[in-house]
Structure formats: C-alpha cells, structure tokens
Amino acid sequence: MKYLYQIFLILLAFSDLEAKKIFVSSAQQISAALSTVQPGDTLVMTKGIWNNQQIVFQANGTSSSRIYLIAEKDGEVILTGTSTLRIAGKYLEVSGLYFKDGYSSSGAVIEFRNGSSLLSNYCRLTNTAIVNYNPSDKSKDYKWISLYGTHNRVDHCYLKGKDHLGTTLVVWLGSTPNYHLIDNNYFAFRPAYTLPPYNGAETIRVGDSGTSMQDSYTTVEYNYFEQCNGETEIISNKSCENIYRYNTFKDCEGTLTLRHGNRCTVENNYFFCGNKPNSGGIRIIGEDHKVFNNYIEGSAGTSLKAAISIMNGVPNSPLNRYFQVKRAIVAFNTVVNSRNSIAIGAGKDSELSLPPLDCIIVNNIFYSTQSPIVTLTDNPLNMTWSKNIFFGTSIGMTLPSNNLNVSPLLSKGSDNIYRLLSGSPAINGSDPNYKYVTRDFEGQDRIEPNDIGADEFSNQEIKITPVGPHNTGPEFIRLVSSIKNNDEILPDKFVLEQNYPNPFNPETTITYKIISLTDVELKVYDLTGSEIATLVKGLYLPGIYSAKFSAVNYSLPSGVFFYKLTAGKFSETKKMVVLK
C-alpha cells in the first residue's frame, strides 16, 4: 500500500512539473510565455482591464493535453479599447474573458486563425462574453467571432448588442468539411441594421455563397437567440450538411434561413416570435432539407418571413441567387397563432420562376385564427400533403385529401407551450410512411402510431425544453442568483425591495431590480455599521434577482440589521429584523 502511495506521489510530482501555470498581464507576456509552454500548461490572464491588447494565442496542444488561456477570475479580465484575440494551432482552449465596450480596428474581435495561413483545429472558445464591441461608424464591417479551420467549438458565450455591419459569428469554409460545434451560447439584443444594403447583419452565418455547395457539417444547438433583429436572416445557412437543433428563438425579427447549400436539418427548435414585426420561423431554399419537430408560435411575418416559407427558385441559378427547392421534407412541426403559417412559392417573380418540386408536407399541425393558413404564391410541382391538421381559419387552398380540418385540441401549459390534450385527433393520427422521426420536440419517444405535430402525447420524462438566459452563456454573466422569470418585462428603474419574510427566522429573501449592466453589491450590516455579509458581488445584466440571507449562517442574535444595495451610482439601504 505504502509503495502504491509513493508511486502516486511521484506521478503527482511529474504532473505538477508538466502542467505549468503562468500568470500573464499583457499580449506581449502571452507571446513570451508561449515560447515555453507545453501541452497541459495554462496561461492565466491577470484580473483587470486589458486595454488595446492584440492577443495571439498560438500553440499546439494534444488531444489528451490541451493548452489553456484562462481568466484569473471568470468575467474579471476585461478586454477593451482595440483588444482582439487570435487563436491559432491545435487543441487550445480559451475561457473566462469579457470583451466590453471596445472595438476592433482590424479583422474580427476573435478569429480562429493567425493571418490567413495559420488556422485553428480542435480549439475551443468557452465561457466568454463580447458586449457592445461596436465602432462609432455603424457601416464598418467586422465580425465578432470568425471560425476557420476544423473541429472548433464555441460554447457558453454571451454576444450582446452588436449594432454595426457584419455577421456576429461566422463560419468560413475551407477545402474540407469543418465539423464545428456552436452550442449553449446566448445571442442577445442585436438591433435592426438600418443602413443600406440592409444586409450582412445576421447573427450566425455558416459559409458563403461562393463555397455554399461544399459540406460543412457544422452543428448549431442549444443556443438562445433573444431579439436578434439585425436583418431578415437570424441564421443564414450557406453550406451543406449542417444541423440546427434544440435552439430557442425569442422575439427575433427574422428567420432561420437555409439560404444556400443542400441537405441540412432543422430539428426541434422553439420559435417564440411574440408577434414581433417580420418575425418568422424557417425559410427553405435548395435541395433535400429536412425540417421537423419544430415549434413555432406567434410569427407575424408573411411570405419570406412566414412561419415556414418554401421559396421559388431561379432557372440555372448562379451560386448567389436562389436554387429551386427540391425534395424538402417538412414534418411533425407545430405552428400556432401565426399570421402566415406556411408560404409556398414565396418570392415568385419573373426571375424566381421555379416552384418547389417534389416536397413533402406531412404530419404537421397548423393552428391559427389568422388567415389564410397556407399562402400559395405559386403552384408547387408534385407536392405531397398528408395528415396535416389545418384549423382555426380558412386554409387558403382546397383541403387536400388525407388531411384534416379538425381542432387539434391543444392546451397551453404552465410553460406557455401548446401540447396535445387527451382525445386529440392528432394522437396516433400521423401518416406512418415517415418514421425517421423517433422522438418528439421534448425528447419523448415517438410511440407508433406517431402523433401529428411536434408533440407526442406521452407521460415519459421531458428531456428537451426551451433554453434561455438561465442555461446559456457564461456562468459569470448568469451569476449567483437566478433570474426569477425570463419572460418578465425588464425593470425600468433600480429597486431594492423590502425583504420577505420580515421579521424572519432564520431565512429571508431580498429581491432587487437591475436596469443596466452594472457592478452590483448587496451587503448586510449590523446596527453599528459593521459589515456582516456580502450576499452579491459582480457584474449583473438587467433583470430581477433575489438573494437569500440566513441569520443562522452568521450566528446573529435577535435584533435590527441593515442591507444595502449598490448598483453603479444607485444605492439604497433597508432595515430588517431577526426575531427568534
């Protein structure tokens, strides 16, 4: 036993030797430190403001030992001025950085390359925020994150407030598929870009028209998009074989657009459109796309911005125009209360003269009181309509045989999502020829015969729910307290509420409202003004928060105590009473 322990100690000593931690305080120190790093080492960026730092994190880790560039404390390494980051090499990981209120004077804020020849592979950017990194000239085009190379991952990042020209996050294709993963990010508050050409302000773009016939195999999943209103395309797919799934779109004035490229999957996304102008769901262009298990509610757009829009194409289309839609499958989606549930042949004009060909619209629920449900701008060629439920208003075309015009018996749950009620004609009512969908929109198994729409009527555990601010983005943005309700209207002034209960023993809750991104502190004092506890300390986003305080944890006697909220220039103190 003793012998084993000695071996353990020796191994530990070796791993200590091998995995160095090097503290760095400037881009120059990072470059210097990189000349000595080995796989497994970590560069720790010291807390504080990093002004005008062009950081190049260029090194090669291994699949078992990455090289890390991290913040000394997550969210407290603030990059500003003209600071940028280049990640180049293999198996690198960056975490905990906060780019704030600066701008890039050259290239993207973060690029997965150094120069045009040295690209990144197997690298990861995580737990990082970019907020208001905008130039004064809104027509200046740069991206916030540019992905090059292959097998890179961007996850748990917070990208908020981009208001100038250029996609927020873009994937550039090379000569081989890239297999990137973009997941669990929070994309927030991108205002409409209102200068000509009213374009180039997408939140995500995968590929470009010139490389759009190449395979990308990028997966975009579990991301939260809130008020991403830059332009009509929230996401612009411009390559082949990509997957968009488990994302939630909230109050976005645009659509997920399969603009160029073929064979993409749009599965199991939630669109809560909130009847915002020009809000839509999914727009389809190109060949062999699959769109299923999506839930779309309250879309107010029409035609190209309908809940589901299948466009017309251009004969012999050049790469940058519109390819004819062929063999799209739109199955098992639920579309509720939308102004234009499905548009066919959208965009038809003298150039876009080719209607969709050989498409299948099957097992969907279209439920709306806004008419018509279907807009046929052109007559599709050989379109299969089977076992769809149309209900609530006029259909907009003759009900195809083998489809239903009955109430789907939907009921809105406490989570504001419509699901099937028992007795719904959707239950077990689907066309059985389309079985490749094995789960429903909440991850429950499809039980044959499958139900129509995104929901399978089931008591199984729910595995997939909409994502939101509570489970996307970096933890340092989410912070210690939970936001009470994601849907709550943001407060318009700072407020410190009276604690509840009061008097209390032993625990009470203090609620407060934050209206702008601010350093927040909540402390407890006794009658003499001595500090007893710091309940909250950190940067907070606008929202309503609460903190718990327990007299037991601080061995407090009965008596009067004070709690004080400081948020930027705002501060307020209130009294509370411990009564045993």
- Smallest separation (angstroms) from Ca ion to the CB of 123: 38
Residues 394 to 453: which contact Ca ion by CB under 5 A?
428, 440, 442, 444, 447, 451
Stretch that binds Ca ion, among 36-44, 244-252, 392-400, 456-464 (CB under 5 A): 456-464
Cα separation, 51 vs 102, whole angstroms: 9
Distances 363 to 52, 247, 301, 376, 463 between C-alpha atoms, Å? 55, 22, 23, 19, 22
Nearer to Ca ion, 375 or 430 (CB): 430
Instruction: Count residues near Ca ion (CB under 5 A).
Output: 9
Nearest-CA neighbor of 540 among 46, 131, 47?
A: 131
DSSP per residue, 264-310: -EEES-EEE-TT-TT---EEE-SBS-EEES-EEE-----GGGSSEEE
Return the number of the residue (102 or 466) whose C-beta is nearest Ca ion. 466
Q: Does 455 bind Ca ion (CB under 5 A)?
A: yes
Instruction: Name the minimum Å distance from CB 433 to Ca ion.
Output: 15
**Residue placing its CB nearer to Ca ion in the complex, 232 or 424:** 424
**Maximal C-alpha separation, the chain:** 85
Q: Which residue lies nearer to Ca ion by CB, 155 or 440? A: 440
Give the nearest distance from C-beta 457 to Ca ion in angstroms: 6
Q: What angle do CA 317, 352, 301 make, to 5 degrees?
A: 120
CB of 362 to Ca ion, least distance (A): 15
Nearest residue to 126 (alpha-carbon basis) of 172, 50, 69 = 69
Q: How far apart are CA 320 and CA 359, in angstroms?
A: 23
147 closest CA partner among 157, 162, 139: 157
What are the CA-CA distances from residue 519 to residues 75, 516, 568 (Å)? 12, 9, 6
498-505 long-range Cβ contacts below 8 angstroms, 24+ apart:
498/574, 499/549, 499/563, 499/574, 499/576, 502/576, 502/577, 503/576, 503/577, 503/578, 503/579, 504/551, 504/576, 504/577, 504/578, 504/579, 505/551, 505/578, 505/579, 505/580
Please, which residue, 379 or 416, has the CB nearer to Ca ion? 416
Q: Which two tokens stand for residue 460?
A: 């199984």
Which stretch, 42-50, 375-383, 454-462, 559-567, contacts Ca ion (CB under 5 A)? Answer: 454-462
Min dist. Cβ of residue 429 to Ca ion (A): 9
**Which residue lies nearer to Ca ion by CB, 221 or 456?**
456
Least separation in angstroms between residue 271's CB and Ca ion is 18
Smallest separation, CB 440 to Ca ion (Å): 5
Phi/psi of residue 203, nearest 5 degrees: -85, -40
Nearer to Ca ion, 303 or 458 (CB): 458
| Dihedral of alpha carbons 360, 383, 370, 428, sign | negative
From the CB of 335, what's the least distance to Ca ion, in Å?
16
Nearest-approach distance from CB 401 to Ca ion, in angstroms: 23
Kindly state the smallest distance separating residue 428's Cβ from Ca ion, in Å.
5
Q: CB nearer to Ca ion: give 202 or 442.
A: 442
Rounded alpha-carbon distances, angstroms, from residue 161 to 127, 144, 167, 325, 477: 17, 11, 12, 34, 14
297 vs 440, beta carbon nearer Ca ion:
440
Of 31-39, 154-162, 225-233, 455-463, the segment contacting Ca ion by CB under 5 A is 455-463
Q: Is 27 helix (H, G, I), strand (E, B) or coil?
A: helix
Of the pair 412, 484, the CB lying nearest Ca ion is at 412
C-alpha to C-alpha distance for 313 and 268, rounded to whole angstroms: 26
Which parts of 457-496 interact with Ca ion (CB under 5 A)?
458
Contact with Ca ion (CB under 5 A) among 41, 74, 155, 456: 456
Q: Select 29 or 458, whichever has its Cβ closest to Ca ion.
A: 458
Least separation in angstroms between residue 445's CB and Ca ion is 9
Please give the residues from 345 up to 384 whose contact with Ca ion meets the rule CB under 5 A: none
> Do 300 and 406 meet the contact criterion of CB atoms below 8 Å apart?
no
For binding to Ca ion (CB under 5 A), which residues are involved? 428, 440, 442, 444, 447, 451, 455-456, 458
